[in-house]
Chains A and B, each alone.
Chain A
Amino acid sequence: MLEKDDANEAMAERPLECGECKRSIAIIYTEIIGDVETNTCMCADCPEVQRRLYGTAAQLHIANQINPVITGANAQLVCGNCSTTLEDVKRGHRLGCAECYVVFEDILPLEMHAVHSLPNQLYPYKKGLPMHIGRTPGEMQTINIFSQILALDEVLKEMLSKENYEQAAILRDQIKNLTKNSSSASKSES
């Protein structure tokens, strides 16, 4: 619910300053949740109104516009190798080459977060924090059999707590088989 305040008399009893920056108010935002009604007074270009209307994504957008490191300096950023522009990246287009990851290094975590492809522990992203924690090229990797056993064991515990013994027995057999296989494999290796 958004109302433009014409500074009429009816509003005289309301606060005359923006709750955020103490400038004179232009917007009164009324939010009704259940029986509770809250009024927030804001100035004309208050970031708060964006947040209320469009959620946190708007806050991110504003932060991008305010933060000169991200927008001011990078506004004209173009990858020299493949001509992908910052605008392309912001619009969610695909990157053009490996070099793009260097050129748009700062903006990429924000873009990933915006499309929910960044785990919570990596946001807000702090410089220097390792993002990739998986395998490196050429590395041979075996997924430890214990991670499989762990997964089955977790379900087994729940089945036991629910007294679902039939399913628990099936799981226990699966775990036994895996343990047997892994021990026979390690014996044959040695």
Chain B
Amino acid sequence: MSNLNTTGHSFLCPQGLWTNNNNTIWLGSTITLYRNLDKFVFSDKLTTDKRKQIIALLSPALLTHEQLNEVRILPAEELSPLEKEFLVEHFLSHQSFHQAHSGEAFIIDKSCTFLAVFNLHDHLILQLIDAKEELENSYENLLKIENKINQSANFAFSSKFGFLTSDVTQCGTGLVVNVFLHLPMLRYSNTLNQVLAKNMADGITQTGLQGNPQDIIGDIVAFHNSYTIGTTEENIFTNLRTLATHLVIEENSLRQQMQQSTETASAEIKDRVSRAYAILVHSYKLESVEALQALSLLKLGLDMNWLKGATQADLNKLLFFSRRAHLLCHHGQHIEHDKLPHRRAEFIHQALKGLELLI
């Protein structure tokens, strides 16, 4: 992984999506559409030449789309493994971008909210990140992009199975919506499962931020639609929005109760927050999971006014930039694997310089 200077990472946006995100609980959502062209076999069965043909066929509509600013195409063979990992982290993806090779490509826009992936199992994956709780608007924007492509190429579609995808579990609407919620109080009060049992409609699956879906890192719980067929797009959005609203309200209520509770009742959670503060401010080495877990508690502490000297946006930025690829890209230089935890700790110390614990 040489040549790791920031200028080399042309798509790394210093004023990007996760650097000025003020969200407390609903951190963001991703909306993904899976599409294939009708005259070609799916990407896994295509030769490299044919794959490149698909990119040539589909990319002009995206590169000239009036809704997207300063769009750039990134062929997979020109990206380093680190840059691919950066894309996975930035777009909160569960996809295997790491394995992308010749004949596969990415398109991103200046705001880094839009991503198109070519030939990763399907001919085209379109994704938009929404950080304003405007799922429905973002979906409409994504459809405008999809419709423009559809004017120059026909998508594989059948009246029975809907939009046809290489993975049968994504056919139908070909739409997967993920919402990412930060729910520390629900988790620490052990009420998350109870609230989910009551409010989670059939057709919603719970996962974590990344990696193993069972691992919840940084108290960030993700939800996505389990079915893409036999349901309408409207239903998918309504179900997820209802659940997200429920959880945000429950989390907020618990935070308020905690603020009004007695010293003894809040002692345990205050202890956790202050320990997290100590870890982040004083550690010599920090692993990413540990850092994310502690940052989660700081986010909670800040919302409860137990801390001052930082904003939610500062902590959200740290939450994203403490992860491996972001940290390496941000540093812009080669860092030995075993020195990374120390550099992470230094990076966090620097960022939290003005932070003060009030409890």
Residues on A lying within 8 angstroms of B by beta carbon are 81-84, 94-98, 101-102, 105, 108, 111-112, 115-122, 130-138, 140-145, 147-148, 150-152, 154-155, 158-159, 164, 166-167, 170-171
Contact = CB atoms under 8 A, between A and B. Distances in A.
Contact of B169 (A82, A115, A150): A115
A143 B234 contact: yes
Nearest to B160: A131
A171 B249 contact: yes
Interface of B: 36, 38, 40-42, 44-45, 121, 135-136, 139-140, 143-144, 147, 150, 154-169, 171-173, 175, 202-203, 226-234, 237-238, 241-242, 245-246, 249, 252-253, 256
B158 A101 contact: yes
A102 B136 CA distance: 33
A133 B234 contact: no
A65 B330 CA distance: 57
A96 B242 CA distance: 36
Contacts of A131: 160-162, 172, 229-230
Nearest to B232: A134
Given A140-B143, A148-B136, A134 B162 contact: yes
B42 A140 contact: no
Given A94-B121, A140-B147, A135 B42 contact: no
Given A117-B229, A141-B140, A82 B234 contact: no
Nearest to B140: A142
A132 B143 contact: no
A82 to B, nearest CB: 5
Given A95-B166, A96-B45, A105-B160, A132 B172 contact: yes
A94 B147 contact: no
Contact of B253 (A94, A140, A142, A167): A167
Contact of B233 (A115, A137, A143): A143
A105 B168 CA distance: 11
A113 to B, nearest CB: 11
A98 B38 contact: yes
Given A83-B45, A97-B41, A151-B241, 12 more contacts: A82-B41, A95-B164, A95-B167, A97-B42, A119-B202, A120-B202, A131-B229, A132-B160, A137-B155, A138-B150, A148-B238, A167-B253
Contacts of B165: 95
Contact of A82 (B45, B162, B168): B45
A170 B248 CA distance: 11
- The 6 A-B residue pairs with the shortest CB-CB distance in the complex, in nearest-first order: A132-B162, A117-B169, A97-B41, A143-B136, A98-B156, A134-B173
B249 A167 contact: yes
Contacts of A158: 246
A155 B41 contact: no
A133 B234 CA distance: 11
A143 B228 CA distance: 16
Given A101-B161, A134-B162, A116 B226 contact: yes
27 contacts: A82-B42, A95-B165, A97-B40, A98-B38, A98-B156, A117-B226, A117-B229, A118-B230, A119-B227, A131-B161, A131-B229, A132-B229, A134-B231, A135-B173, A135-B232, A135-B233, A137-B154, A140-B144, A141-B143, A143-B135, A148-B237, A152-B245, A155-B245, A155-B246, A164-B253, A166-B256, A167-B252
A143 B160 contact: no
Contacts of B36: 98
B88 to A, nearest CB: 20
A147 B160 contact: no
A106 B233 CA distance: 25
The CB with the most chain B CB atoms within 10 A, among A83, A151, A152, A158, is that of A151
Contacts of B41: 81-82, 96-97
A120 B227 CA distance: 10
B232 A133 contact: yes
Contacts of B242: 151, 154-155
A62 B53 CA distance: 44
B226 A98 contact: no
A110 B155 CA distance: 25
A36 B196 CA distance: 33
A99 to B, nearest CB: 8
Contact of A95 (B42, B162, B203, B249): B42
A9 B66 CA distance: 86
Given A119-B231, A132-B229, A137-B155, A143 B237 contact: yes
Contacts of A138: 147, 150
A102 B157 CA distance: 11
Contacts of A154: 242
Given A96-B41, A120-B202, A137 B163 contact: yes
Residue among A97, A148, A152 with most chain B CB within 10 A: A97
Contacts of B42: 82, 94-97
Contacts of A159: 249
A95 B167 CA distance: 6
B256 A134 contact: no
